[in-house]
Structure formats: structure tokens, C-alpha cells
Amino acid sequence: MLLPSVPPRSRHEPGDRAGDRSGTRGLRVLVGGLLGALLLPMASASASPWAIAAPVRTAPVDEEHHRVLRIERVVITGTEQVSDRQVSDVLQREGLATGAELLWPEDERVVRVRDRLRATGYFKRVTLRVEPLEDDPDRVELVVEVVERSTVSISDIYLGGSALTPFRGGIALAERNFLGRGVLLGGALIWGTQPRVGKSRRQQAYKAFAEAPRLRGVPVGILVSSWFISASEPYRVEGAEDDPDPSLFKTFEYDRIGGQVGLGFPLTPRLELAADYTFERVNAFLPEDPVRIDTKGELVELDLGLLDHVHRHTAVDFSITYDGRDELFLVGKGGRVVLDVRASSSATGSQYDYIKLVAAGAYSFRLPWGHWLTPSASGGQIAGAAPVYERFYSGDLSSWTPGREQGLRYSTRNPIDVFGTGIDTREYGNLFGRVDLEYAWPLFRRTRTRGVYGGDLYLSLGVFTLVGDEAERARRRADDEWVAPLGAAADLGVRLDTALGTFNVSVGNVLRRTPL
């Protein structure tokens, strides 16, 4: 099974909030090998942000001295879907326009221009060079050569089954450069068959979004998104907490319809601040006095994590992102840090009252023998009573069990308890932490192809924990159980950079989609 995964560059591409914003899901899983085999020959380039760095060819110079060259004209070649204006804007912001002086061959602005162009995700190769004019070698023509990737990409393909939901499927698409103006447009949908629990309804979700990372002439980006979600959330009514048999569960239904608006403030090419406002109308159909029969035969009252009937959920988000990675095919040297704070209260117009904090960071560096090592860490905490779909979910943390997709839970499986700490008894929590270490072995690189550009073999190892609210922690202590159980996260597979995106075939991808 061939499955794609695109590292998130936009704040609002289709995807799971717990995975995309908090970094807990890691690489997303997308499409099967048959689809890749059919579509790869049809696409000319990928919208993946990982582009290759081409060497800069310099004009002949004295090796002992730098030369100050004057740019007489700028020539841009290779653009088809991307407009010349978009490339020119990057050059002008760095002062590399007609009439400017250029310190060759080590002008730092050349490096910054190349990095900025690669970071757009529009190009698989960028080359800058100078061509001296015949009558004066100190007057040059600055040539920018680009090789484009397709700006249309499959962001996600949802495909799989479980003991609860026999089949689920869907797709998410994105156009990253609408009309050559750098505007991101996209949409997603997912649909599942009826759960094998009583009279549960089919779960489905639809989303549309648009984002302009930078408005022309103003250092501000804007985004809008909207969605409709129809959920049938499973909850346990009897049996042991580690038993995933759907017959031990019931479901309750709820609908969410809402949207989000936000502003982004790119302070530097690598640092961005953002502020978002989320508003939803939630209609929940909760059972009266829900209870569970535990293994001792006692009744346990349940808190399903939602208010009943029609109500409002709104929130404000503030985030800061630093991305210092080099833009390469599949991995890039450098670090990335994200901090996100979400607040919901009556002050925002909400009927929920909570604060949610999530932080994630990673750093990739190249080993002397050419392989890549990436340690990463993420964590989050919720204070207050957040709705169930905002709480941290164990499946989003595990590499081997299904997580939420477009906010929907399609499985009753909990993480595999490798360490015997009881992680398989946990579903939702208010506190999580995870650390990972990934080793990537580059297999091949092809810069002059219209299909597969590169491939890596990778192995990742990690551990995570998930902790409940204060009442659950007290119950676990009373039962002499682990309050913060440890779970294992590991994966082995091949990552391919293709004309449709970055695709994974791995052990974890298969296990998450197998109806065990």
C-alpha cells in the first residue's frame, strides 16, 4: 500500500487538528499504490514543500577577491503555472532588482532568495546565476531558472476499515497557487459506513478553506474556512476498558457546523505569528443519565464531554511558528517549533470554558555519512471543560491504531500496551507528551523526472503518555493504576517524493487501516 504524507506548511490545510496543529500525529497517511500508479504518469510536479537546492553558478572571478557587480536586467525562466511577478516580488524584497549592486559570489541575499523560492513549495529546483555583458564584465544579467512542481496536490486520502466502521473513505485536495497569486484553496470530505452499534448513523465531514499567506503590499496573511461534521461518537457501556469489541459500546450523535477566520503576521521568512477565531453551532443528542457497568458489576456515571441540545462553541487561537529548516526533497536541516494557545469562554461567545496549550518542536541534522537524524518532542495540556472533540485522543498519539480523521472517530481500538502500563485503557485525556527519534536513509534522488523525485528508508522510535482529568487521576490512584501510562510509537517504511506529494508505505500505515 502506497500512502502519501505532506508536512504541514499551511495553517489550515485539510487534516486533523490534533495532528496538524499539535504535531502528535506525525506524518499523515493518504493514498493506495493503485491510485499512485494510475496518477503519477499524469502529473508533472508535486506541491510538496520539500524542494531541492541547486548549486549557484558564478561568473568568472578572482578567487582572492569578491567583485561588486551591477544588475542590468533580471531574466526569469521556467515559469508556467507560477507567475514571473511572484518570483520578482521575492527578488525585490531582497533588493536584487535592476540597477542593484551584487557582491559575487557570496552575497547572502542570493541564498535568502533561493531559500524563499524553495519554501513556497512551487519548485523542485531553483538556480541563480549571473551572465556578464559582452561590453562590461562588471555589468551582468541575473538569471533565475526554476523547475516547477504542480501546485495541485492530494493532501489526504482517507481509506480503511475497523471493527466499528467496516469502511471509511474520502479525499482532501489543495491548490496552492490559485491564479498564480499564492492563494491556497482546498476542500476535504470523508464518509463512513454505518457503525456496528445499535442505531448509529453514518459519520461524515465536509470542509472548505482559503488562505492568502501574504496580501500584496501588506505583510499580513488572511484565512477563512468552514465545515460541517456529522458524528456518531462511541462510548463504553460495559466490559473491560481495554476490550475494543463494538458490542460493548453505544454511540451518541452530534452535528457541528461552523467556520474560522484568522490573520497571519510573517515577521521574518522563518517566524510567523497568527490569530484565529473559531465559531461553531453544535447540536448534540445525548442519552439520559449515561452509565457504564464496570468489571465489578458496579454502575459508573459517565461524562460524555458535550453539552446537550443546540449550543455554541467558540474560541480564539494565538500561535507562533518558527521554521528554520532547509527545503530539501524529503528532509531539511534545521529546526521547527510551534506554540499554540486556544481559549474558549463566555468572553468569546462560547458555552464552554477551557484553555488548551500545545507545543511541538523538532530538529533535523545530517550525519557525516549522509543519513538524517530527527529528534522531536510535543506536549499539551487542557485546563477546564473542553468538548470531547477538543480533548487529546490516544489514537492520535499511537502509530499503530486509528486516530481521528477530520475530527471523526471511526474505531474503538486503543493503543497496544507494549510496556504493560495500561495505556490500552485510555481514550481521551487532558495532558499528553510524546518524544520521537527518526533515522532516515536516502535511497535515491532524481531532479530531472516527472514522476518520482526521491526516496528515503526511515525508522522512527518513540514513547508517549496520556493523562486524564483530575477525577480520572484520583480514580486511577485509588485502583493502584498508572496515572501516566507509557505507550510505544514506532514505524518502519519508505517515504517517496512524487509528482502528487510525499507518499509513505510503512508498517504503521497498514496497522492503522486494518479492521482488527
DSSP string, 322-345: EE-----SS--SEEEEEEEEEEES
- Same domain as 475, residue 360: yes
High-pLDDT (> 70) share of the chain, %: 84
- 192 within domain boundaries: yes
Q: Of 374, 333, 379, 380, which Cα lies nearest the Cα of 356? A: 380
Kind of pairing, strands 152-160 and 136-148? unpaired
- Boundary (domain end) residue, out of 148, 165, 200: 148
Whichever domain contains 90, its CATH number is 3.10.20.310
Whichever domain contains 162, its CATH number is 2.40.160.50
Q: What's the count of helices (H) and strands (E) in the chain, helices before strands?
A: 7, 25
Distances (CA, A) of 254 to 18, 216, 229: 19, 41, 8
- 47 within domain boundaries: no
- Same domain as 201, residue 291: yes
Assess contact for 476 and 482: CB atoms under 8 A. Answer: yes
> How many angstroms separate the CA atoms of 68 and 103, rounded?
5
- Same domain as 257, residue 118: no
Crossing angle between the packed helical segments 108-119 and 84-93, to the nearest 10 degrees? 140
148 grid coordinates? 516547477
- 45 within domain boundaries: no
Kind of pairing, strands 353-366 and 372-385? antiparallel
Range of the domain at 80: 52-148
Write out pLDDT tens, residues 461-484.
999 999 999 999 999 999 999 999
- Same domain as 509, residue 425: yes
- Same domain as 135, residue 157: no
- Same domain as 494, residue 437: yes
- Same domain as 319, residue 279: yes
- Same domain as 187, residue 93: no
What per-residue confidence (pLDDT) applies to 500?
A: 73
> How many angstroms separate the CA atoms of 104 and 89, rounded?
21
pLDDT level of residue 40 (50, 70, 90 thresholds): very low
- Boundary (domain end) residue, out of 148, 183, 202: 148
Give the chain's domain count: 2
- Same domain as 320, residue 212: yes
Residue 261 pLDDT exceeds 50: yes
- Same domain as 302, residue 225: yes
- Same domain as 355, residue 446: yes
- Same domain as 485, residue 432: yes
- 468 within domain boundaries: yes
- Boundary (domain end) residue, out of 111, 127, 148: 148
pTM of the full structure: 0.79
What per-residue confidence (pLDDT) applies to 333?
A: 76
